Amino acid sequence: MNKGQIDRLIGQVSKPVRYMGNEYNMVEKDPASVEIRFAFAFPDVYEIGMSHLGMKILYHLMNEREDTYCERVFAPWPDMETKMREANLPLFALETKDPVSEFDFLGFTLQYELSYTNVLNMLDLARIPLLARDRTLDDPFVIAGGPCAFNCEPLADFLDLVALGEGEELIGDLLDVYKQWKSEGGDRDAFLLRAARIPGIYVPKFYDVEYMDDGRVKAVTPNRDGVPSRVVKRVVKDLDRVYFPDRIIVPFMDIVHDRIMLEIFRGCTKGCRFCQAGMIYRPVRERSLETLLDLADKLIRSTGYEEISLSSLSTGDYSRLEDLVRDLMARHWSERVSLSLPSLRLDSFAREYIEQVQRVKKTGLTFAPEAGTQRLRNVINKGITQEDLSRSLTDAFGSGWNNVKLYFMIGLPTETTEDLEGIAYLARMAVDCYYGVEKNKREKGLKITISTSSFVPKPFTPFQWEPQDTIEELREKQHMLQKLLKLKHVDYSWHDPETSFLEAVMARGDRRIGQVMLTAWQNGARFDSWAEHFSLGRWMDAFTECGLDPYFYAYRKRDRDEVLPWDHIDTGVSKAFLWSEYMKALNEETTPDCRLSCTGCGVRRLGEGLC
């Protein structure tokens, strides 16, 4: 199929610009002039995938290499999928519109569990055999990375390779090894064996999983010589020296995060016990103020973006946040470039910052106390007090904000009715804070949004042994909150507990889930993170068909000694540390920020001088 035919087809679907490419700063190369073609895939639609910082970094990094051409591919929306299947058009890359089956690599980034069926669907649309064992030398190597790659066992049968941890250095090693293998010749296993020796590369087929009669994992053992028994994640040591693109693609369409994302640091020292990102991205490494200001200059010039956001897990903890905000505003105000500060933590929130940011743009403010009472906040180690929240809210209202969101989780370990009532108490307190501000200093039209998500126990966190609340329990809690939050100025929104349930199953799934996923996909599952496409029934049928019990994965409390399906993956944080954090949680004991003193999580093993 030629480009004209593809264009014709694109013209018949919704949002055709998703499939057009040709954006400013898109990299164009002659595919005949490179040795390696890499298709970087995000298993969701364009506007979500293009909002992802990791993809921007790796896309431009790979394209710095003369021997490599990295292109992009996103999940076609169902109307496009239908057209593609009717027209027999295989999945193509945005840059050249060439079929991705012709590429050397197809790399997926796994950002959330409910995107997994899109991975299968994209492989199928690309006409690449779904199962890794069915692929031949004519097929690309399928690789996955991103946070969900740390426990990618549910996808193990479909992946040739998995990249663990930060990709900037790892990807170069992998491409070098690939080039060497390609020039020497050999079968697929010959390449995979070499790749498995690169630190951070996990080749699932080189590991056998044994199960006990009751369904628990008995052991995961390498089945080849020269393959590590535990795969350790990769970490970049110095964020000032590691690659960060100074030009990024500027999409035509309005994407979810349509702005420059300036990554100010990686990792997080707070140690919230539910938070997987806070555990797997350790240790904390900051970019220097000078590097950030320089990057911001270059990125504004090369993209023309009107907004910069500071990106990290906990922006308020950046050691020179005040200087950074002030300098960025001073340099770029004349070009009307605005600044947004996401996930700002309460305890480091100061009136000064609010006023700085206000100079350009005032959007809604978001706070995440996560739990309604101090007791439960101690359990999850969220070191925010009611006084912190009260002070921050009063500051915000006094500075002209009138639209505030408070995020909470329900279904947290040890949660009681009192904790739910605590959420309503904090909502009322927020309203009181507003009315506590002098009338002529506050903005009219107060709106407090209380939003609850449902707790999903994640691997590599202190709560990885915990059962999830059942769908019914979560629904009851949501009903209770609906009643408690019928308050003036207060809106309540909540997440569908059915998707949280499936997320819990996938997050802690083992390899046997792969069969269930395949069955669910064959029965039509895709875009599971989109309410209009999600069907729990389809998944429950697939579990029944495969003879597996989803409750075993979501609702079962694990023992200390249980072999977890992801125990052969090493994030640096030790299982012993996670267990001790779990025990402290149950005792309502907190653990201080590890910037204050080392809490011995184990990540120091990953290298000298990391933290």
Residue ranges that bind another protein, judged by CB under 8 A = 7-8, 10-11, 16-17, 19-20, 22-24, 250, 252-254, 300-306, 335-337, 358, 360-362
Q: Which residues contact 530 (CB under 8 A, 6 or more apart)?
A: none
Q: DSSP for 120-141, please give it.
A: HHHHHHTT--SSGGG--TTSPE
Minimum CB separation of residue 95 from another protein in Å reads 12
Residue found by looking up tokens 């590097």 in the block? 291
Minimum CB separation of residue 519 from another protein in Å reads 36
Which CB, 7 or 208, lies closer to another protein?
Answer: 7
> Of 366, 427, 425, 355, which is closest to residue 395 (Cα–Cα)?
355
Residue found by looking up tokens 């990295």 in the block? 70
Roughly how many angstroms between the first and final C-alpha of the chain, as a whole number?
53
Q: Which residues contact 35 (CB under 8 A, 6 or more apart)?
A: 67, 68, 179, 182
Which CB, 293 or 546, lies closer to another protein?
Answer: 293
Which CB, 304 or 607, lies closer to another protein?
Answer: 304
Minimum CB separation of residue 77 from another protein in Å reads 14
Q: Are the CB atoms for 217 and 558 separated by under 8 Å?
A: no
Minimum CB separation of residue 360 from another protein in Å reads 7
Longest dimension (CA), the chain: 77
Which CB, 127 or 361, lies closer to another protein?
Answer: 361
Which CB, 254 or 387, lies closer to another protein?
Answer: 254
Distance CA 250, CA 61 (A): 16
Which CB, 259 or 270, lies closer to another protein?
Answer: 259
Q: DSSP for 67-121, please give it.
A: TEEEEEEEPPPHHHHHHHHHTTPPPB-TTT--BGGGSSEEEEE---GGGHHHHHH
Minimum CB separation of residue 336 from another protein in Å reads 5
Tell me phi and psi for residue 278, to 5 degrees. Answer: -65, -20
Minimum CB separation of residue 45 from another protein in Å reads 15
> Of 320, 253, 236, which is closest to residue 57 (Cα–Cα)?
236
Distances (CA, A) of 556 to 151, 455, 553: 18, 15, 6
Which CB, 224 or 336, lies closer to another protein?
Answer: 336
Distance CA 152, CA 159 (A): 9
Tokens of 119: 């991975």
Distance CA 345, CA 125 (A): 42
Minimum CB separation of residue 97 from another protein in Å reads 12
Minimum CB separation of residue 7 from another protein in Å reads 8
Which CB, 302 or 374, lies closer to another protein?
Answer: 302
Q: At what angle do helices 167-184 and 188-195 cross, to 10 degrees?
A: 150
Q: DSSP for 469-505, please give it.
A: PPHHHHHHHHHHHHHHT--TTEEEEE--HHHHHHHHH
Minimum CB separation of residue 357 from another protein in Å reads 11
Minimum CB separation of residue 22 from another protein in Å reads 5
Which CB, 303 or 580, lies closer to another protein?
Answer: 303
Which CB, 25 or 374, lies closer to another protein?
Answer: 25
